[in-house]
Amino acid sequence: MAKEHILVVEDEEDILELVRYNLAKEGYRVGGAISGEEALAKVKAEPPDLVVLDLMLPGVDGLEVCRRLKADAALSQVPVIMLTAKGEEADIVTGLELGADDYITKPFSPRVLIARIRAVLRRKAEGGGEQDAPIHAGNLHIHPGRHEVLVGGEPVDLTATEFRVLHYLVRNPGWVFTRYQIVDAVHGEDYPVTDRSVDVQIFGLRKKLGPAGKQIETVRGVGYRFKE
């Protein structure tokens, strides 16, 4: 049975072919794009199961490509793994804020990239049963299947990462989670992230949820919890 379709967006031919070769060897159907404009056109023409996205692209850069994908209702659920030489904390935080599912810095190991791809695709394939059940907490309503959050009946626009963080906390009301427990839950183990990026997600959630955001409490010296 054919494996998932992966689009690799990379303007350096050597790296593009390296990633293509290793993914094809694993049985994936692999497409390529060398610019942000080409990537957006290909994703719209044939939505892939996952996008491996370089940040430093000619024309429309990778962050803007990710932003446009996550803003398109028809494409927002396509997972994005950012592959880039830009490894500073600010870039990691920006990628997470835009909804990237993983972030790998160059130079990289093809085996690690493949492992990360498998993990992201596995998380995408999971999610039936209880995790897809709608949740009500006061005037906060979360519908995982629709990727929808309502506060007082009004829709709230969240990034993919913000949604996963909120869903994880609300599914476990009263439980206190460290930042790295939150990271492991929404991205998988060994995700290259910092305490700061989790704080950014929580700050964004509180701001977007308005008064309902006060239910996300900081437990000093430990982490965060959702209080009903």
SS (H, E, C) 188-215: CCCCCCCHHHHHHHHHHHHHHHHHHHHH
User: pLDDT (tens digit, 9 = 90+) per residue, 107-126?
Assistant: 888 998 998 898 888 877 76
Alpha helices in the chain, H assignment, sequence order: 13-25, 36-45, 62-71, 89-97, 110-125, 160-171, 179-187, 195-209
Instruction: Label residue 138 left, alpha or beta by phi (over 0 means left) and psi (-120 to 50 means alpha).
Output: left
**Domains of the chain and CATH, by start:** 5-125 (3.40.50.2300), 129-226 (1.10.10.10)
Of the ranges 1-5, 141-145, 166-170, 216-220, which one carries the lowest mean pLDDT score?
Answer: 1-5
Q: What are φ and ψ of residue 220, in 5° steps?
A: -55, 130
Structure tokens at 217: 């409490």
pLDDT digits (tens, 9 = 90+) for 88-108: 667 667 777 777 888 888 888
Residue 100 in tokens: 């990237």
Q: Distance between CA 152 and CA 138 in Å, rounded?
A: 9
More confident residue, 6 or 90: 6
- The three-class DSSP label of residue 81 is strand
39-49: pLDDT as tens digits: 999 999 999 99
**Each residue's pLDDT tens digit, 157-172:** 988 788 889 998 998 8
Q: What is the pLDDT of residues 60-87, one digit of tens each?
A: 999 899 989 988 888 888 999 988 776 5
> How far is it, in rounded angstroms, from Cα 70 to Cα 210?
22
